[in-house]
Amino acid sequence: MTADWQNAGFGLYLHWPFCASKCPYCDFNSHVSASIGVDAWQAAYLAQIDAWADRTQGRILNTVFFGGGTPSLMPASLVDAIMDRIRARWSLANDFEATLEANPTSVDASKFAAFRMAGINRVSLGIQALNNNDLRALGRMHDVDEALAAFDIARAAFDRVSFDLIYARQGQTLPMWEAELRRALDMAIDHLSLYQLTVEPGTVFAQRQARGGLRGLPGDDAAADMYDVTTDICRDYGFHGYEVSNYARPGSESQHNLIYWRYGDYIGIGPGAHGRITDLCGRRATEAPRDPAQWLAIAQNGYGCDEAPLSPIDCAQEYLMMSLRLTEGCDRVRLQAMIGSEFNGDALRDLVQMGMIECTDTHIRATPDGRLVLNAVVSKLFEDLQ
């Protein structure tokens, strides 16, 4: 019998938790460290790859994603050793995708050439803003010229280079964002991640906001307008919004992130990494300790995370939550197989009537209005799973 994850593929996420400096808006598991014992990290990653490869023998690996933190700070020799071990332990898909996240401050041509030699074939660059004042306000260590130079270096080494921008920033108006987005699309190759600024609890931005110091953020309506024009302008340039914050030319979507959103299986290696793995007993959630030193201490022995079984209803909830982020939406046949009956309750009918959800014979999708309040839409749909 085909297991559900096989509808969506199998990926490996590897977390590098270090950055050159901590950005004031960021709540990722990222740390600034004066010294990093690279040999110990290499031993830990390789031990984890071996342990997971033993458990997933016979599978074909579709993707690997080096995320962070700032993986472009990893020594090229470490990326090379990890990629070597991955190739030794799994069969790779013909269209295997290997992405590495990069910060413009840590991009140099020889290192990028070495990443490519190691087998990386896609880079995601955190540019964030195309004007210097806003880059300073975001606490970034690079200016626009450095970001553009980094993009050129990345483009010279890789066919596939995506970059991230953060919008709905302090003082940003709709015309300002439109102009910035057009400039970004003029230089973009095939993929962009465009995130609305979120003030995450526990960050320096959250503290500043609590003191009344983070002035000039666009309100909800202005941010929603920015989201709408983002979708329209990207479409004019041939980039379709395939996920809430991701835009690509058809065929250039991030295959790794699609595995999350289509609810495939993925291994998570590194501090704080999450995974979803199906075995004979069903699907399991894995979560590694967030603290880098704690993770390092246990990971070298082959143990790297806590595991919890997911019930069919847990899986259905997660599948709904992830797949409704996608324009293609949720596959009704898969959802039905998870819960053992048709998914067709009162909450779904209400949301369709309210114009938040649309249904076809094969899929359930969030409408553009529904996407603006996706968390509320998904919580409402959960009522039909009880």
Ligand X SMILES: C[S@@+](CC[C@H](N)C(=O)[O-])C[C@H]1O[C@@H](n2cnc3c(N)ncnc32)[C@H](O)[C@@H]1O
Query: What residues line the site for ligand X (CB under 6 A)?
Result: 19, 25-26, 28, 67-68, 70, 101, 103, 126, 128, 164, 166, 195, 197-198, 200
Cβ–Cβ under 8 Å, residues 226 and 167: yes
- Closer residue to ligand X in complex, CB, 198/301: 198
Separation in Å, CA 229 to CA 167, 188, 241, 374: 12, 17, 11, 18
CB of 30 to ligand SF4, least distance (A): 4
Q: Which of 63, 70, 230, 286 binds ligand SF4 (CB under 6 A)?
A: 70
Question: Sheet of 363-366: strands edge to edge?
Answer: 330-331, 363-366, 357-359
CB of 193 to ligand SF4, least distance (A): 12
- Closer residue to ligand X in complex, CB, 31/363: 31
Q: Which of 69, 264, 272, 275 binds ligand SF4 (CB under 6 A)?
A: 69
Partner touching 22 among ligand SF4, ligand X, none, CB below 5 to 8 Å by kind: ligand SF4
Give me the residue whose beta carbon is nearest to ligand X.
Answer: 126
Q: Which of 72, 103, 300, 323 binds ligand SF4 (CB under 6 A)?
A: 103
- Closer residue to ligand X in complex, CB, 54/220: 220
CB of 331 to ligand X, least distance (A): 28
CA 71 from chain center: how many Å? 14
- Closer residue to ligand X in complex, CB, 53/165: 165
Looking at 22-30, 48-56, 71-79, 116-124, which segment touches ligand SF4 (CB under 6 A)? 22-30
Residues ≥6 apart with Cβ < 8 Å to 186 = none
Looking at 67-75, 177-185, 222-230, 374-382, which segment touches ligand SF4 (CB under 6 A)? 67-75
- Contact status: 22 vs ligand SF4 (CB under 6 A): yes
Q: Torsions phi, psi of 83, nearest 5?
A: -65, -40
Nearest 5°: the CA angle 352, 354, 358 is 30
Whole-angstrom distance, CA of residue 58 vs CA of residue 50: 14
Cβ–Cβ under 8 Å, residues 77 and 106: no
* DSSP letters spanning 344-384: --HHHHHHHHTTSEEE-SSEEEE-HHHHHTHHHHHHHHHGG
Window 28 to 47, contacts with ligand SF4 (CB under 6 A): 28, 30
Residues ≥6 apart with Cβ < 8 Å to 179 = none
